[in-house]
C-alpha cells in the first residue's frame, strides 16, 4: 500500500511566523506535489517536484517555497505566514506526473491567526 504521510494534521500559527509542512512518501515516487484546498475553489497546485532538488511552480506559488533534498521528502515552507494562507494543505505523490494517479496524504489544516 502506498503511504503518504504529513507531519501534522492540525497546526495553528501566528502571522509572520515561518511555517514548515513536511510530507514523506514510501513508494519511491519521482513526483511530489503540494496543493491547498479551499471551499468553492477546489484543489489548487502550489508547487511540484519531479526529482530531487528540482521544483516547478504550480498555479499559486506566491508566498510559498519548497524543498526536496531527498526523494521521499517534500517540504512546503511559508516564509512569513499570513491569514490568507489559512487552508487545508494536501501533499501527493505519483510515478508519472500526468498519466498515473496521485496518492494523497491526510492533509494539514493550517490556521494562521
User: Where would I find the beta strands (DSSP E) of the chain?
Assistant: 4-6, 10-13, 19-25, 31-38, 42-49, 56-57, 65-70, 73-78, 87-94, 103-104, 108-112
Residue count, binding to other proteins (CB under 8 A): 23
Identify the residue among 21, 104, 110, 112 touching other proteins (CB under 8 A): 104
Of 22-30, 63-71, 73-81, 100-108: span binding other proteins (CB under 8 A): 100-108
Residue 87 or 102: which CB sits closer to other proteins? Answer: 102
Listed residue (103, 88, 101) closest to 36, CA to CA: 88
Query: Rounded distance, CA 4 to CA 106, Å?
Result: 8
Query: Rounded distance, CA 77 to CA 62, Å?
Result: 11
With binding defined as CB under 8 A, does residue 40 bind other proteins? yes
With binding defined as CB under 8 A, does residue 33 bind other proteins? yes
For the window 71-90, what string marks contact with other proteins as x by the rule CB under 8 A?
Answer: -------------------x
Tell me which residues touch other proteins (CB under 8 A).
Answer: 4, 33, 35, 40-45, 48, 56, 58, 90, 97-99, 101-107
Amino acid at each position: 500500500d502506498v503511504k503518504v504521510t504529513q507531519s501534522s494534521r492540525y497546526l495553528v500559527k501566528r502571522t509572520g511566523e515561518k511555517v514548515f509542512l513536511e510530507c514523506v512518501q514510501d513508494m519511491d515516487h519521482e513526483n511530489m506535489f503540494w496543493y491547498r484546498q479551499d471551499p468553492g475553489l477546489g484543489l489548487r497546485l502550489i508547487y511540484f517536484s519531479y526529482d530531487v532538488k528540482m521544483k516547478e511552480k504550480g498555479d499559486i506559488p506566491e508566498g510559498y517555497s519548497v524543498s526536496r533534498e531527498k526523494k521521499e521528502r517534500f517540504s512546503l515552507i511559508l516564509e512569513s505566514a499570513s491569514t490568507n494562507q489559512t487552508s487545508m494543505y494536501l501533499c501527493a505523490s505519483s510515478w508519472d506526473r500526468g498519466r498515473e494517479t496521485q496518492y494523497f496524504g491526510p492533509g494539514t489544516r493550517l490556521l494562521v491567526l
